A and B are shown apart, each in its own frame.
Chain A
Amino acid sequence: MAEVVLQGVGKSYGSVVAVRDFNLTIADQEFVVLVGPSGCGKSTTLRMVAGLEEITEGIVAIGGRVVNELPPKDRDIAMVFQNYALYQHMSVRDNLAFGLRNRRVPEAEIDAQIARAVRMLGIEPLLDRRPRQLSGGQQQRVALGRCLVRNPKVFLFDEPLSNLDAQLRSQMRLELKELRKRVPTTSIYVTHDQVEAMTLGDRIVVMKDGLVQQVGSPLDLYRRPANRFVAGFIGSPAMNFIDVRVTAQGDGVTVAAEGLSLGLGGKPGAALRKHAGNTVTMGVRPQHLMLGAGGGNVQRFKATLSTSEQLGDQQLLDARLGGVYLRVAGIDAALKLADGTALDLAVAPENLHFFDAAGGAALG
């Protein structure tokens, strides 16, 4: 049982604050992903849990024990690094055995642990090689193996897949998921890639400028982003944003921008009524914009096709609406559209997100 608790954790280097007031409780066997742009403090947070950075303020506890003052070796954790960090002067076997030998585990048991790990990762033939004789993917498997043999309380991953090419990355992502099922261990995974975050995490922590923006399940973040930053960061292609003016209209509201006027009734409309007379930021995901009439309760507007991108299975459109560009995803790849074509777009009101124009906090 290893619950990881971070309470009011902060880190500053002199006057530069890298992380502030980080609060999170990670349940036993939970897989939590810290995601955010570079410099957001996610790696620093991970390194504080690992004991590689001193904790400026707050408390970090692993398995009910406060570890602030414990050196990394006594925290019972294992970590996978972005550049693998294998011991270059040792064979793969010695790399895997290193941590166990340091803990004076009997050789017979070390052999058994190594055998188990290499079978799981499919790296049996590599045991006698040196790290520099391995490909990036193989090195990453060895790095994972080094964690597995130790049976630690917590796994820490610091952007483990970002040095791999796109194809290998998606394959390793699947393997990580498989591995998780077989070795369920509390894990903290740091990445800047929102796809990794969405696919791997039980819960995701989105960070920016050292501050937690939102904590939630992948679907939570996708469907109910807490602010404009999270909305724009999670989901691919990124959400479209457009500043609209809110006017009260009957029971609901009308939101309008140049070339656009959408009447919103029901729940979304009611929620926006208190912002009548203000300008707010409207967000809509490219996947939620439909081309053509659309059916049911949708709002329609016109835009001009600026350019389209062919992806093979679908097209991405870049449509101009007044002074802003909207991306539209999921368009039939076979559809031939000339640049400059007038597009009839439609969107369901429940798929619209509204954010405070200044602060970016979600409204409603």
Chain B
Amino acid sequence: MTAAALPLARPPRKGFFAALAPGGARVLFALVVVGVAFLFAFPVLWLGLTSLRPASGVYFVHRGTEFTLHNYVEALAQPGMLTAFFNSFAISTLATVLSLGVTVTSGYMLSRFRGPVPSAWFSIIYVLRCVPYISWVLPLFFVTRQLGIFDTYWGLLLPHVAVHICFFSWIMKGFFDGIDPSMEYAALIDGCTRWGAFFRVALPSAVPGLTALAILCWLYTWNEFLFALLLTSHRTPILTVVMAQFVHELGMEWHLMSATAIMALVPALIVTVFGQKYVIRGLRI
């Protein structure tokens, strides 16, 4: 039997993609990818462009040819702007550290222990997650006023930490569920206490997940607006709130807002670029 007579020849492909010229399918795919990427990048690119235009040109971004960096200088000169950058950075970092400190132990408990305490804790988290986020704000406003921590670091930090604990304990539980508990049993036999086994064996194994969570937590706090708006005032300016103040009774200062937004993007971008690997790995667990 000759090779040509073999009945195993691949049948010719049919359909739209086969009708394209060789390589056509690949070009088409690339075009679609570029199109989708552009769709998402467009607002940011437009924002960047707006930030470089003088105040008079913001409504004609596509037409003018005049560009300036003056918006950045002016935005930074706004009262409270530098403090707001510092505050946002400090709050994001502190909130990440504090909430992860609680979340790792709380997630670990939910993953490894059974009994009344873990179930009660689980129920509390569950109920709190069911409540719409916005409905917390008003009670929190009164509570922080009452406690005398309104418009302070603590007044914003504690609510953030509380929300993070609720949201991230579940995710952390998932990370620990993926780690073989017999590793900790081995550590117990190898001379560790329960805490020792947690710190020296379980926690190091959860580092990729922990890193992912830290990045998400940091970005979330950095971008958060609602709590910042209602729980802080002039004493503790927060970046997102300061940015929003470019919309006022005299109009909207798009050029300054865009410049601030682009500057606010930079730390977030750095965190994302450096942490991307971990975020993807962590969320895969």
Stretch at the interface among A32-40, A77-85, A268-276: A77-85
Distance of A63 from chain B, by nearest CB (Å): 16
Q: Tell me which residues across on chain A come within 8 A of B182, comparing CB atoms.
A: 81-83, 85
Q: Are A87 and B188 in contact (CB under 8 A)?
A: no
Q: Are A71 and B190 in contact (CB under 8 A)?
A: no
Q: Are B193 and A87 in contact (CB under 8 A)?
A: no
Q: Are A103 and B191 in contact (CB under 8 A)?
A: yes
Q: How does the 8 Å CB contact mask read for B174-187 relative to A, with 1 for contact and 0 for none?
A: 00000010110111
Q: Tell me which residues across on chain A come within 8 A of B211, comparing CB atoms.
A: none
Q: Are B190 and A73 in contact (CB under 8 A)?
A: yes
Q: Are B188 and A52 in contact (CB under 8 A)?
A: yes
Cβ contact of B185, chosen from A52, A88, A98, A99, cutoff 8 A:
A52
Q: Tell me which residues across on chain B come within 8 A of A71, comparing CB atoms.
A: 188, 193
A364 to B82, CA, bound (A): 95
Residues A56-95 near B (CB distance < 8 A): 71-73, 75, 77-79, 81-83, 85-89
Kindly state whether residue A51 has any CB partner on chain B within 8 Å. yes
Give the interface centre of B190, B191, B205, B207 by most chain A CB atoms within 10 Å.
B190
What DSSP secondary structure best describes chain B's contact surface? helix
Kindly state whether residue B192 has any CB partner on chain A within 8 Å. yes
Nearest to A98 among chain B residues (CB) is B190
A83 to B184, CA, bound (A): 12
Interface size in chain B (residues, C-beta < 8 A)? 17
Nearest to B188 among chain A residues (CB) is A72
Q: Tell me which residues across on chain A come within 8 A of B193, comparing CB atoms.
A: 71, 73
Q: Tell me which residues across on chain A come within 8 A of B189, comparing CB atoms.
A: 50-52, 72-73, 75, 77-79, 99
Q: Tell me which residues across on chain A come within 8 A of B52, comparing CB atoms.
A: none
A132 to B190, CA, bound (A): 20
Q: Tell me which residues across on chain B come within 8 A of A78, comparing CB atoms.
A: 189
A78 to B204, CA, bound (A): 22
A347 to B193, CA, bound (A): 59
Q: Tell me which residues across on chain B come within 8 A of A86, comparing CB atoms.
A: 183, 186
Q: Are A98 and B188 in contact (CB under 8 A)?
A: no
Given A87-B201, A89-B204, A73 and B185 touching (CB < 8 A)?
Answer: no
Give the interface centre of A81, A85, A102, A146 by most chain B CB atoms within 10 Å.
A85
A99 to B204, CA, bound (A): 17
Q: Are B185 and A85 in contact (CB under 8 A)?
A: yes
Cβ contact of B191, chosen from A51, A82, A99, cutoff 8 A:
A99
Q: Tell me which residues across on chain A come within 8 A of B185, comparing CB atoms.
A: 50, 52, 72, 79, 81, 85
Q: Tell me which residues across on chain B come within 8 A of A52, comparing CB atoms.
A: 185, 188-189
Give the interface centre of A83, A87, A88 by most chain B CB atoms within 10 Å.
A87
Nearest to A73 among chain B residues (CB) is B191
Nearest to B191 among chain A residues (CB) is A102
9 contacts between A and B (CB under 8 A): A72-B185, A72-B188, A73-B189, A73-B192, A79-B185, A85-B183, A85-B185, A88-B183, A103-B191
Q: Residues of B at under 8 Å CB distance from A?
A: 180, 182-183, 185-193, 196, 201, 204-205, 207
A-B pairs, top 4 by smallest CB distance, nearest first, are A102-B191, A99-B190, A85-B182, A85-B186
- Besides A51-B188, A146-B190, 16 more A-B contacts (Cβ < 8 Å) are A72-B189, A77-B189, A79-B186, A79-B189, A81-B182, A81-B185, A85-B183, A86-B183, A87-B205, A88-B183, A99-B189, A99-B191, A102-B190, A102-B191, A102-B196, A103-B191
